[in-house]
Amino acid sequence: MKHSREFEIAFVGLKPGIHVFEYNIDSQFFDRFGEVEFANPQVNVQLTLDKKFGIFLLHFNINGKVSLPCDRCGDDFELIIWDEFDLVVKQIDDELVAEKSEADAEVAYIGRSESLLEVSTWIYEFILLSIPMQHIHPDNESGGSTCNPEALKYLIQPESSISQDWKEQLEQLQNKKNKN
């Protein structure tokens, strides 16, 4: 991942209290992290940082859109995403203790000697968490699918009928099983 100063917050110079940061995320941001399953991201991230003594309360508000292939029909569609995430960042003296304490995903640790918060990784992870596991075209106003109708034709399978030979063989196996 390439490093960008845009996502560094120099908290040493900030007064205690609430500070708001805005980030507009596009494809260039995701290029730093490698391949992702979507295209054309246009995501706005509003980060609210509440600075207290030795602790930072971060609130990430994510909204925007990405283009994804539909899991059902394969056509691309625009998915609207929105979500909120909270993260607590604690300053500690011993970073070895922090490595052992990483069981809580909502708490991050930094050393007291640090002067910057680098938030790009958290933004990346929270955007990915905002995208649902299943990617399907949204329904229209009447509740019908907006998927490609040509592709859906291939998904509709007629009920298969068991051939007579197979049916007889299955009955014979069942009869043998019942005799034993």
Range of 34's domain? 5-139
Dump pLDDT digits (tens) for 29-47: 999 888 888 999 999 999 9
CA distance linking residue 46 with residue 59, whole number of Å: 8
In a domain, 66, yes or no: yes
Dump pLDDT digits (tens) for 106-135: 888 888 888 889 999 999 999 999 999 999
Alpha helices by DSSP H, listed for the chain, are: 27-31, 95-100, 120-130, 149-155, 164-179
In a domain, 40, yes or no: yes
In a domain, 175, yes or no: no
In a domain, 179, yes or no: no
Q: What is the pLDDT of residue 114?
A: 85
CB 133 within 8 A of CB 139: no
In a domain, 86, yes or no: yes
Name the domain count of the chain: 1
